[in-house]
Amino acid sequence: MEIFQADTEIFAGIDTEKVLDQISCKKYFFMTDPMMEKIGMSKKIEDILKRKGIVYEVFSEIEVNPSLDSIKKALEKVVEFSPEKIIALGGGSTLDSAKAVSYFMGRSGIELPVIAIPTTCGTGSEVTSYAVITDMKNMVKIPIKDNKMIPKIAILDPEFTKTLPKSVVADGGIDALTHAIEAYTSKGANLYTQIYALYAIKTIFKNLLKMFENIADRDSRVEMGKASCIAGFSFEKAGLGINHSIAHNIGGKFHKAHGRANGVVLPYVIRFNSTDLETARRYYEIAKELELPANTIEEGAKSLAIAIEVLNERLGIQSCVRDLGVEESLYRSLIPEMAEVAMNDICTSGNLKRVTLEDMKNIFEMIY
């Protein structure tokens, strides 16, 4: 039996103020990050709320890799302020922080819905039940999953992605592509999730470089926003795989952007997973849709890995962990620990090809 249910109301390519005009709320907790404040993006939301006469409080102490400490600070302010809803403006870190706050408030019996306004095209966090928080003491990323964290509303407003630096466009776009490819090939994939995933993959290949090379191209920003969101729908229902398990370790241990870590790892994981016939067949199906060389299943899977390597190069994404600036002796000393953590990561269970601890250690060796 295949079941698919969408839980988030999505507004794509629509002005944020028009959407907020439709929402009944007298008191918002507004979560954003220091960069959004610095470049004036958060002020646009504050101006809307002021015009509407809505009471709000701003929390902007969000880190690139949100920590348990920052979530605790936000929770203390929420308890004191007692808002009706959360507005979250920012990238995956901000959206994940807002969802984590909503989750912990829900555990105490208080429902606090999230309105997500992504400012990057990549994480898909605006439609998923996942949040990734960093335990700074142990330098480990902790994925949390709970359906109550899924935002009630997502606003995909291209106004908030028109000033993104190239590195953020690259990291976000390759993150979304990884979501879609892993969702298409995961254990939990079905007809509906694969339709979403395949659409996202094709849209990303068509629009990511356009957005990367010309951020003023509104159409490519709109399309990438939709593709990221659709990829989010797909992996929310189908799950992910070891690409994310490995990237969580690299990001947590060495403070590297999650999307970039995913992009570095992706060609290696495709080649590893291609030794499983069913996974290779799914890579072949993707390659066929992208009109890559795919006369056989083996050729199709190989073509997909090569196509991603070419895309990475054009986006300025490194081809191995060493090129990310990670010191070799430290990295190799941590491989046994990272492999153990990756095996226990929530995403590993979704990998169609069975993975052993030795496999995981070998992959960590290969990607360096």
CA 140, 334, 253 angle in degrees (round to 5)?
30
Could you give the domains of the chain? 9-161 (3.40.50.1970), 166-367 (1.20.1090.10)
pLDDT, position 1: 40
pLDDT, position 192: 92
Which parts of the chain sit beneath pLDDT 50? 1
Residue 196 CA to residue 279 CA, distance in Å, equals: 18
In a 10 Å sphere around its CB, with 0-12 CB exposed, 13-18 middle and 19+ buried, how is residue 165 labelled? exposed
Q: For 86-104, how does the pLDDT look when each residue is reduced to its tens digit (9 = 90+)?
A: 999 999 899 999 999 999 9
pTM beyond 0.95: no
186 DSSP assignment: B
Start-to-end CA distance of the chain, whole Å, equals 41
Residue 366 CA to residue 135 CA, distance in Å, equals: 26
Q: 115 forms bridges with which residues in the sheet?
A: 87, 153
Q: Which of 153, 155, 164, 290 is nearest to 218 (CA)?
A: 164
Q: Which amino acid is at 135?
A: D
Residue 292 CA to residue 286 CA, distance in Å, equals: 9
Q: For 187-240, how does the pLDDT look when each residue is reduced to its tens digit (9 = 90+)?
A: 999 999 999 999 999 999 999 999 999 999 999 999 999 999 999 999 999 999
pLDDT, position 14: 85
pLDDT, position 2: 52
For residue 217, give the 3-state DSSP assignment.
coil
pLDDT, position 76: 96
